[in-house]
Every structure is written in structure tokens, then in C-alpha cells.
């Protein structure tokens, strides 16, 4: 087992239709408005398809990644990025209509940790890193649900 590799899946049930959720998720530069652990997203070279993001959950360090869009498919409800920086790999949102209304948003991510501090503590820190990620995802789910909630 490579202690620096992680695979995550989060499933969020949201109170808005898939098109509305997709419209929010495709504007990554606005994530800090609703996702507390996303500290900033800065487009690169004025591009809407790549940028630098900074994350911080409850652990006292920040993660910096450069993201490049690899798939944008509104009809299929899919957004995907490739990542480099403190985390290297990919992440994907897949949206579908929830029975009874709303959206099921599935977030899949496969990454390898590049940040030296995290690599140094890979074995003993893994449970804490997993908890840190879970905390971040809970914050994102709550924030997005409130942001897209119908008035």
C-alpha cells in the first residue's frame, strides 16, 4: 500500500435541480463563497478552465493545488479536473436528479500527496488526514446545500 495515495467518494443530496447545482459547481472561483475550507481560487492567465486553489480544513496547514479542467459536460452533469501541487491526481463531480426532486452529487477523487510534511507523516498521520478530508467535505455539503436552497 502506498500511504500517500488516497481515493475518496462523497455523495451529497442537495435541494436544487441538477442544472442549478451544475451552474454553481462550474464556477470554481466562487467556491469560497459557500465552501468554508476552500480559502481561494484564482484563475490562471484569465482562464476559466484552470486555476490555483488553496484549501485548509481543521489541521494547521494549507494545501495549494493547480487545477486544469479535463471535462465539462453539462448534459451528462459531469465536471472533472486534473490536479498538481500539494495533491496530484484528479477530481470529478457527477450529478443526477434525485428521486422526489433535487440532486445527488457524487464527488470522486484520486490523489497522491506531494506536500513534504504530509508525506513525512504518511503512516501515522493517515487517520488524521482522512478525518481532515471528511471535515472539509461535510463543510462543503452544508455550504452548497444552503447556497442552492430554493427561497
Q: What is the pLDDT of residues 42-80, one digit of tens each?
A: 998 776 778 999 999 999 999 999 999 999 999 999 999
pLDDT at 49: 79
Report the run of H or E that residue 48 belongs to, with start and end. Answer: none
pLDDT above 90 coverage of the chain, percent:
91
pLDDT at 81: 97
pLDDT at 55: 97
**37-46, 63-72, 79-88, 90-99 — which is least confidently predicted?**
37-46
pTM of the model: 0.93
pLDDT at 46: 72
- Domain that includes residue 60, residue range: 5-148
Q: Which grid cell sits at 33?
A: 463563497
Residue 112 near residue 122, CB atoms below 8 Å: no
Q: How far, in Å, CA of 10 to CA of 131, rounded?
A: 13
Residue 47 near residue 57, CB atoms below 8 Å: no
pLDDT at 1: 76
Read off the CATH number of the domain in which 125 is found.
3.30.530.20
- Work out how many domains the chain is built from and give that number: 1
Residue 150 clears pLDDT 90, i.e. is over it? no
> What average pLDDT does the segment 116-138 reach?
95
pLDDT at 151: 53
Q: How far, in Å, CA of 99 to CA of 31, rounded?
A: 26
Amino acid at each position: 500500500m502506498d500511504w500517500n495515495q488516497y481515493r475518496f467518494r462523497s455523495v451529497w443530496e442537495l435541494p436544487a435541480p441538477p442544472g442549478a447545482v451544475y451552474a454553481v459547481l462550474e464556477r470554481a472561483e466562487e467556491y469560497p463563497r459557500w465552501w468554508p475550507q476552500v480559502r481561494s481560487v484564482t484563475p490562471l492567465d484569465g482562464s476559466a478552465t484552470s486555476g490555483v486553489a488553496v484549501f485548509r480544513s481543521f489541521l494547521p496547514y494549507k494545501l495549494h493545488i493547480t487545477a486544469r479542467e479535463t471535462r465539462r459536460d453539462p448534459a451528462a452533469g459531469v465536471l472533472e479536473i486534473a490536479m498538481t501541487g500539494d495533491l496530484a491526481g484528479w477530481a470529478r463531480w457527477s450529478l443526477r436528479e434525485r428521486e422526489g426532486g433535487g440532486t445527488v452529487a457524487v464527488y470522486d477523487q484520486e490523489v497522491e500527496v506531494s506536500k513534504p510534511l504530509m508525506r513525512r507523516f504518511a503512516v501515522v498521520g493517515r487517520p488524521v488526514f482522512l478525518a481532515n478530508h471528511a471535515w472539509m467535505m461535510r463543510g462543503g455539503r452544508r455550504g452548497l446545500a444552503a447556497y442552492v436552497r430554493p427561497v
